[in-house]
Amino acid sequence: MRDIKNVLVAGPNGTLGQPVLRHLQKNESDTTLLTRNVEKTKQAFPGLQAIEADYDSPTDLQTVLQHTVGDQDALVILINRDDVQAHINLLSAAAKSGIRHIIPSSFDIGMHSTFPIRNPVFENKARMEEFLAKKAREGRFGFSAIQTGAFFDWALERGLLFDVKHNAPSAVFDGGDVPLSGTTLDDIGKAIAAVLKQADQFRNRFFS
């Protein structure tokens, strides 16, 4: 598969929207935005095409994708991981619409260790990734799942790792000797853009 140039981004109004779009534009990708709130999206990303998408309607999503997809299109999903039915609806529509490659909302902790799979916080993520892998095995599309660990600068800003704003004591988790990985938002955007330039190399892989 040649380099992907036409990219659909679902959920650009969230935390990752700005860094992802910034690096896709550096790639000179032809980018279209799928969004629940067109006006908000147009204000945040002037000059880019924004299309209203009802993530709760598989039929609506399939219609939207079929009218948007080009020969080399990819879909980047940035919607909240807990909205698992919206993810499954998007993946189902993509499977029927000719999308070649998907970057799912697999960010945060990877699912290939015993801790996250057994933790109820990650049940929706596990369910989405199982559905994603099933569709890929059926040959419906390829995917690249980028597992980033914590959103480092986002977490720092909110005092979730260290409360640097108030010089408060830091919380200690799991005895304080368990490694924690994290990635800045800008580096996540950079990684997504880089993967789409070499999609074959990263096809059907979960990686960090």
pLDDT tens-digit readout, 124-143: 888 889 999 999 999 999 99
The answer to whether 192 touches 20, Cβ cutoff 8 Å, is: yes
Beta strands in the chain (DSSP E): 6-10, 30-35, 49-52, 74-77, 101-103, 142-146, 150-151, 182-183, 205-207
Residue 55 has pLDDT above 70, yes or no: yes
**CATH entry 3.40.50.720 includes domain 6-150+183-207:** yes
pTM score: 0.83
**154/15 Cα distance (integer angstroms):** 8
Which pLDDT score is estimated for 198?
A: 87
Residue with the bigger pLDDT between 106 and 54: it is 54
- Which residues are within 8 A (CB) of 39 and not within 5 positions of it... i.e. 6 or more apart? none
- 3-state SS, residue 120: helix
Which pLDDT score is estimated for 180?
A: 61
**Of all residues in the chain, what percent carry a pLDDT higher than 90?**
44
- For the segment 70-124, what is each residue's pLDDT rounded down to a tens digit? 666 899 999 987 888 999 999 999 999 889 999 998 886 665 554 455 566 678 8
How confident is the model over 147-156, as a mean pLDDT? Answer: 65
Q: Where are the domains of the chain?
A: 6-150+183-207
